[in-house]
Amino acid sequence: MSDYTFITTEEHFLLQDALKKNKQQLTKFALIGFGLLMVAAIIPQIYLYTHNKLGDADDSLLSFKNFWFWIWLLSFVVALVFALIKVTDIRYWAIKKDLTALQKGTVQAPMEAVYLENNDSQTNIMILLENKKKRLFYWMRGALEGYRAGQEVEITYARYSRVIISISKK
């Protein structure tokens, strides 16, 4: 890996586009979380109040009148949203840091693995470095055609998010 240099204006726009796509993913996950919150809050109430007496339903742990029910429910939804973010490699905060730092790096190494993610909107590339460490880089502009594991590539990437700015075969 090389020393870091400043990114150009064009590369800055590429990072802004990647940030926009990541923000859309975050919004989608927040809406999924809100939908699950509504479903998980309403279904137990319907069951409780149709199968129990009013007083028994109000005293239940699953009652919307119980403070601990809401703590559990919100904790579940927050954990689910963060799990979705982690599993899908959302790089929102790292890209924001890159847009402030404006630094890029270059690496030349063989690709260990190449795979699509996030409904084929992102290609992840695993690189094997000289010190036998593996590092994951992210191509945020859809499927990257013509690149296979084992090929030697040169990648220019944003420093913190490891979003690929440019890639070429060697």
Q: pLDDT digits over 153-167, tens only?
A: 998 888 778 888 888
Superfamily of domain 95-169: Nucleic acid-binding proteins (2.40.50.140)
Give the pLDDT score at 27: 86
For 24-79, the pLDDT digits (tens) are 888 888 888 888 878 877 777 787 778 777 676 666 666 667 787 788 888 888 88
In this predicted structure, the answer to whether residue 86 has a pLDDT above a threshold of 60 is yes
In the chain, beta strands by DSSP E:
5-6, 103-117, 122-128, 134-139, 152-158, 164-169
Average pLDDT of the chain to the nearest whole number: 80
Lowest mean pLDDT among 53-57, 134-138, 146-150: 53-57
- The answer to whether residue 106 scores a pLDDT higher than 80 is yes
Listed in sequence order, the residues at least 6 apart from 160 whose beta carbon sits closer than 8 Å to its beta carbon are 94, 95, 97, 98, 101, 103
User: Which residue ranges make up each domain of the chain?
Assistant: 8-89, 95-169
Rg (CA), the chain: 22
